[in-house]
Structure 1
Amino acid sequence: MAEGSLIFISGGVRSGKSSFAERTAAGLAIKTEGKLHYIAAGKAYDSEMEARIQRHQDDREKSGLHWTTWEQPSALEEISGNFNNQDIILFDCLTTLLNNELFRAEDVWRNREFQDKLSSDLLRAISEIRQRCRFLIVVSNEVLNVPIGENELVITYSKILGTLHRNIVEMADEAVLVEAGIPILMKGEPA
């Protein structure tokens, strides 16, 4: 089976990237009669995150389409075998999953070998999912355009995220930056 198309969608916090990604996935599902899947990396650590998760769930429900949701706040590779070439998968979002993986690791995140392994494991999981589906849409936050200060964990997080973004965009068929709700095609042709 040929690997599916990879669409990378990024943007700042509250830029509209998740809504755009959901509309993109829904449009692809309608066009191809594919099955919609949503990989949710978010965990409700506080009331704000709980409200955001609920809003995303409500938006998917209001779409009138059937979404299969996978709650996967870490270990993305564990679900890679669950998809097939009829599936349109929306993974929201890479930044949250990376955050969860770093905090799950306690102080191990300081180890360069751990950082490299984490990055390669995430890229491998994305590649494995892509090989099994029709379309994989990966959503991520653009957090690298703001000053990161001197916090070692934030610097490490930013370096790993920057590497992941660069590698995913290189693999992607399409890359879109969403600014103030407006999608800007950065690579490829719209699917």
Structure 2
Amino acid sequence: MNIVMVSGGVRSGKSAYAERLVLERSSAAPAKVLYVATGLRWDGEMDERIDKHRARRPAEWDTLEAASDLSVSPYEDYDFVLVDTLSAWIANRLMEIPEERLGDKSLAQRILTRVDEYIEALGASRLREAVIVTDEVGWGGVALSPLGRRFQDIVGEANQRLAARADEAVVVVSGLPWRLKG
């Protein structure tokens, strides 16, 4: 089972690159593809972003909305899975935490443990390939809010763990992929 990590900044082209990658690799042989969407429709702008992503995907790909739970059990009948994005899934978890509890290290550890379990389950699955998209949070300044700082800390650590386990890692900058691993 091949795990591919695709990271990049917001609006860097990472999702479009990941979609092209899965389309290329899944077209070589008949394959079933599952797109796992973790974004939530918070407002009109998010609606537009989600709709843009949906319109760009091939019609034959199935979609699973998984804003609150990442689990490999729904992937059993698929050859390829594209998760877009791990960082949005983490943001969704953080949004459930009252601001005064954001500094609680055990909450961050629970999220990271769940990420580790998910990555391990992916590696043990019968999938041919899993492509995981995530935001690169290490190139910006330190966030001004406690929620923003906690998000950066957890996503940065989760990305390092995913990159260590991934067979391939690509960062997308201004629409251009840069292979880091594999």
TM-score range, shorter chain: over 0.9
Unaligned runs of 5+ in 1: none
Quote the Cα distance in structure 1 between the aligned partners of 2:27 and 2:173.
26
What's the TM-score once normalised by structure 2's chain length? 0.92
Structure with more helix by fraction? 1
Mapping for residues 6-45 of structure 1, pairs under 5 Å: 6-45=3-42
Could you tell me how far 1:141 is from its partner in structure 2? 1.1
Which amino acid is 2:73 matched to?
Answer: G
| Matching residue of 1:174 | 168
Which of the numbers 145, 153, 156 marks the counterpart of 1:159?
153
1:56 aligns with 2:61: no
Could you tell me how far 1:135 is from its partner in structure 2? 0.4
Size of the aligned set, in residue pairs, is: 180
What's the TM-score once normalised by structure 1's chain length? 0.88
- % identity of equivalent residues: 29
Could you tell me how far 1:86 is from its partner in structure 2? 4.8
2:137–2:156 CA contact under 8 A, matched in 1: no
Which of the numbers 70, 83, 86 marks the counterpart of 1:91?
83
Quote the Cα distance in structure 1 between the aligned partners of 2:50 and 2:124.
28
| Matching residue of 2:115 | 122
Quote the Cα distance in structure 2 between the aligned partners of 1:171 and 1:116.
18
Task: Describe the SS at the equivalent of 2:179.
Answer: strand
| Matching residue of 1:70 | 64
- Segments of 4+ moved more than 6 angstroms: none
Which amino acid is 1:91 matched to?
Answer: V
Could you tell me how far 1:134 is from its partner in structure 2? 1.2
Could you tell me how far 1:7 is from its partner in structure 2? 0.2
Could you tell me how far 1:150 is from its partner in structure 2? 4.2
| Matching residue of 1:47 | 44
Quote the Cα distance in structure 1 between the aligned partners of 2:85 and 2:137.
13
Could you tell me how far 1:114 is from its partner in structure 2? 1.5
2:4–2:130 CA contact under 8 A, matched in 1: yes
Unaligned runs of 5+ in 2: none
